[in-house]
Amino acid sequence: MMLRAVVRRASTRGSSASGLGKSLQSSRVAASSPSFHSLSATETPVPRRSHARSFHHRSCPGCSECSRTVFSNFQGTTLQTWVRPFSSESGDVVEAVVPHMGESITDGTLANFLKKPGDRVEADEAIAQIETDKVTIDIASPASGVIQEFLVKEGDTVEPGNKVAIISKSADAVSHVAPSEKIPEKAAPKPSPPAEEPKVESTKVAEKPKASSAPPPPTKQSAKEPQLPPKDRERRVPMTRLRKRVATRLKDSQNTFALLTTFNEVDMTNLMKLRSQYKDAFFEKHGVKLGLMSGFIKAAVSALQHQPVVNAVIDGDDIIYRDYVDISIAVGTSKGLVVPVIRGADQMNFADIEKTINSLAKKANEGTISIDEMAGGSFTVSNGGVYGSLISTPIINPPQSAILGMHSIVQRPMVVGGSVVPRPMMYVALTYDHRLIDGREAVYFLRRIKDVVEDPQRLLLDI
């Protein structure tokens, strides 16, 4: 570009008005021959991070060889250019921006960077993670190249479209550093060695404590003063957005709903026997293991169909009855609690439910679950038994009206046919919104769960 500009300037000056030509003739060298055209080289700074030498030609009026002379001089070794390879004018730089995070999410917190400046990245490779109220989202590189710099810091709040990083498509983009960037490091003065006099003074100061024969008496603390733990044994860390969102929703649930919990116990003998009898054939046909969770999901679907008010929700002065069954499952991850949704659970069989549960749980633990997979839901099932919980009172997930809590299976003595025998028993709990659901419906709902789990054949006969 600089070469074309100089050639254009030279040809323009060659055909300029005679007045301009006369003013330039005054600077010619008197001893030169008529066919020689003098060139004077002047160094001028070039903006936009580039340094080049620009040659200003003192042209002769009416001379046709001016442009060729300038062009030949620029083709030689006289011209020296140095341009940084990540200049935006060359189209070598791309910017990574925050992606769209969902309709209900307007911003997020940049949780951490997965790469460092100078690292090589490929197209669509994750370079950073954004933490939102519901899920963690990756920021991907738009092209292959080298990360030049990050424009935000960890912990900053970002919105969709914000620029996060500058990526150069050239592999050596960051290895070429401008001299001006190295000057502060080289110019840093080395600390001068300490003089001899301070050493003597420090020696004298060190001798003073030795002169004291007895240590100072310890300070006496008042007997009434509480003994608090030292502050250096405490750590203060900011809450993640997911944890703050969970805390807000659970507290809103506690403040809004009239929470009440009812309990029952379930004999798991028949469901465990069914699982043990058909688990190999089930895995061979469907490619997924038969678990206990699918049996409780099917039992919850049946109970919701028998007690539709449990599947409803209060909206202002109205009650919304849902004619579909979307069951949320609570999944605990290292980053917090997420609740993906099994959509159309009433239309699924055992195999479909097990496949969906495995897929959603895997995405939740890997942090790749989407917002759409956690939106909605008309009823929630929480299995605290996987952590060893014996009994609990779960909290409703708004805007739902009830939640079923599963717990650990424990061998307990039970009376069966007049005899005391050990049985694998599980406590189940139903927390419900007493503003909408009466105790009668809640007990009937939980009793239906008990009947179906203890006798799975009821699902086949619909009784």
Task: Supply φ then ψ for residue 320, to 5 degrees.
Answer: -100, 115
344-349, Cβ contacts within 8 angstroms, sequence gap of 24 or more: 345/297, 345/300, 345/301, 346/301, 346/304, 346/305
Tokens of 237: 């860390």
Task: Supply φ then ψ for residue 319, to 5 degrees.
Answer: -120, 125
| Whether the bond into 189 is cis, omega within 30 of 0 | no
Query: DSSP letter at 375?
Result: S
57 is catalytic: no
Q: Helices marked H in 190-316 — which ranges?
A: 196-211, 241-256, 269-286, 293-306
Catalytic site residue from 51, 434, 451, 455: 434
Q: Please, what's the largest Cα pairwise distance for the chain? A: 132
438 is catalytic: yes
Strand partners, 76: none
Nearest to 344, CA basis, from 353, 336, 331, 357: 353
Nearest to 407, CA basis, from 424, 421, 420: 424
Query: What is the rounded distance in angstroms from the CA atom of residue 239 to the CA atom of residue 137?
Result: 18
The number of angstroms, rounded, from the C-alpha of 171 to the middle of its chain's C-alpha atoms is: 26
Residues with catalytic function: 434, 438
